[in-house]
Amino acid sequence: MLKQAAKLRQQAEDIKSALPPRPPPDPDTSDNTNDNDTKTYPNSVLIIGANGSLGSIITRQILRAFFPPPTPVPSSFRVYACVHDYSRSSLLSYEVGAEDGVGTIGPAWDPSSRDATFEYDSKTMSGYNLDKLTVKECEILSPLEVDEITRDVDAVVYVATDFKGNTPRAIINLDIGLLYRAVTKPMKGRVEIEGLRNVLEGMTRSRSRLGVGGGERKEYNELVLVSVAEGTLDDFVTPTGDFRSLKLEGEEMLKEFPSINSCVVRLGKFDDNFVEEGRELLFDIPDTTSTVDGGVGGEGNGKKRRRKINRRDAARAVVGAVRETEWTGKVVEVWTDG
């Protein structure tokens, strides 16, 4: 038996010596830190409202520029885009670059080449990190569905809203179903209130399942709520509540969940036509206890009403807010010098 065991050990050593040397570790599989940056980043980010005009750009920014160079994108990093309806996610598909592949289509009169193809183009799309993206359909007014999408997610960007500007989408889009619900059952569900609460409670339950204590603080904001800067938009009265009061109530709700690192990013008025992209971001921390400015979207003063921002710069500010722990527990107004 001893001779046989020695023979087996010798055979194992011979096989080991014949193997090629082990390659160095792949930087893409390393932790999400580097020698120059010891900061910890979330391993997964959920964008709620990702199919909107701002949410789709935020998703693009997180996929392509969430980790500042030279920090590599970890292989385990995941981005989840929450949409209300798969069939209405064409804007998201366009923004993240899913349509930048190589397509071929033959002429209609040629029966032999009627098949159309669309393939991934490594030359164009290699930096898009689309392999990190998962699109999930979810009704955020359903606690059960929200509980599922927030399971084990590290950070959430909440950009979903019932409004387009300060006008309800039900009115702008002439959605009879939404109008009927707003009139007959105004408190059944509001994205700004019940939807946000579902997300916060879902995150809390997820932390409980993982055994994360309330005293353990993250080095990033676990929830970033996108809102509207003071004095930017006029008020709008709806059966479910006034535009200003709904926004403020959502912001105040974050205080009910002190164990979750969170912040509010109030954006200036969007202007993609006359405000250039790439301008310097300007910040202000308003006195949220004061009523001088009329709260969110209040009358404010003329200077504040002129604060504008390009959507792409707004997305850049929101993505940066996830990493900016100095904003934790604060309300920050953002605009550009354009």
* Range(s) of the domain holding residue 52: 39-98+120-336
Among residues 221, 232, 235, 329, which one has the least CA distance to residue 285? 329
Burial of residue 166 (number of CB atoms within 10 Å: 0-12, 13-18, 19+) = middle
Whether 109 is in a domain gets the answer no
Q: List the beta strands (DSSP E) in the chain.
A: 44-48, 78-83, 102-104, 117-119, 133-137, 155-158, 163-164, 167-168, 223-228, 237-238, 241-242, 262-267, 269-270, 281-284, 308-309, 331-336
Phi/psi region, residue 295 (left: phi>0; alpha: psi -120 to 50; beta: rest), is: left
Distance CA(18)–CA(322), nearest Å, equals 49
Distance CA(55)–CA(58), nearest Å, equals 5
Whether 12 is in a domain gets the answer no
The tokens for 23 are 């390659």
Instruction: Specify whether the CB–CB gap between 261 and 327 falls below 8 A.
Output: no
Q: In CATH, what number is assigned to the domain containing residue 278?
A: 3.40.50.720
Whether 314 is in a domain gets the answer yes
Whether 10 is in a domain gets the answer no
Whether 194 is in a domain gets the answer yes
The tokens for 32 are 């999400």
Predicted TM-score (pTM) of this structure: 0.79
Whether 16 is in a domain gets the answer no
Whether 73 is in a domain gets the answer yes
The tokens for 37 are 């940056």
Whether 22 is in a domain gets the answer no
Number of domains in the chain: 1
Q: pLDDT 10s digit of each residue in the chain, 338 long?
A: 556 666 666 766 665 555 444 433 333 334 454 444 557 889 999 999 999 999 999 999 999 999 988 888 999 999 999 998 888 889 999 999 998 988 888 887 877 777 777 788 888 898 899 999 999 999 999 999 999 999 989 999 999 998 877 666 655 555 555 555 555 555 557 899 999 999 999 999 998 877 665 556 788 999 999 999 877 877 777 777 788 888 999 999 999 999 999 999 999 999 999 999 999 999 998 876 654 454 555 545 567 778 999 999 999 999 999 999 999 999 999 999 86
